[in-house]
Amino acid sequence: MYKLTVFIPETALESVKTALFAAGAGSIGNYQQCCWQVKGEGQFTPVAGSTPHIGEQDKPEKVDEWRVEMVVDEHVINEVISALKQAHPYETPAYDVLQVLDF
Structural domain that includes position 33: 2-99
For residues 66-93, average pLDDT: 97
103: confidence class by pLDDT, cuts 50, 70, 90: confident
- In DSSP terms, 37 is beta-bridged to 68
Region of 24 on the Ramachandran plot (φ > 0 left; ψ -120 to 50 alpha; else beta)? left
Give tens-digit pLDDT for 11-38: 999 999 999 999 999 999 999 999 999 9
* Single-letter residue type at 86: Q
Q: How many domains does the chain have?
A: 1
Full-model pTM? 0.91
The CATH number covering residue 41 comes to: 3.30.70.120
Tell me the C-alpha distance between 21 and 28, whole Å.
12
102: confidence class by pLDDT, cuts 50, 70, 90: confident
DSSP 8-class letter at 26: S
Q: How far is CA 45 from CA 10, 31, 79, in A?
A: 18, 39, 29
